[in-house]
Structure 1
Amino acid sequence: MTRLSEDVRASLRFFAFYLANGTLDMDLLENIDYRPALMQYGSTLEMVFTIYTNVLEIDEAGQAVNAGEAQDRAAQWIRHYCDPSYQVDPPFEPWETKLAGP
């Protein structure tokens, strides 16, 4: 069985750390304490990780090549969730928000 590379695991670890620490994309989410909203319903946090992992690209060597972009897209979703007047640009494509699994 193939496992995620160390680089991908580190990318996910840092994403989870910034998310839980309240420091994900400080420019976009400044002065927004999104953490209570994410924990209120499981599906909110689920969508954040869905967007991050759907956008994250891995090269042939198993390296995450766009972790910053994946974090930014997840942060945009959080911002829109917490502030419905915020316009996501560009709007999310269906594949970005598609849940995996059964």
Structure 2
Amino acid sequence: IGGSFGQYINIEKAIQIGLLPDLPWDKFHFLGNTSLKGALLALMSREFRRDLTAIAQKMTYLELSADNSFYDAFTSALFLPHTDLSQFPSVAEVLASRRNGH
């Protein structure tokens, strides 16, 4: 997780509200100022710049407003927690245990 935003984020709470995917906590790492590091790499390495150019050439334009499935997924994700708890099994477990009084 890059930037100062990531430095102060509570992984557990971020997963609970759907801000981060439901993955083991050790999969998340705070990387600091990644934009500055990327810019420095681009200035220092011709190979890195070639890689960036190749990535940029693979980019395509996709009109998301024309895709109803995107709209459905987007509106589902607006709720906290996410309306599709199957994507967040650890959150579903916490909610179930709270309902059962544990």
What's the TM-score bracket when you normalise by the shorter of the two chains?
Answer: under 0.3
Question: Larger Cα Rg: Structure 1 or Structure 2?
Answer: 2
Q: Structure 2-normalised TM-score?
A: 0.22
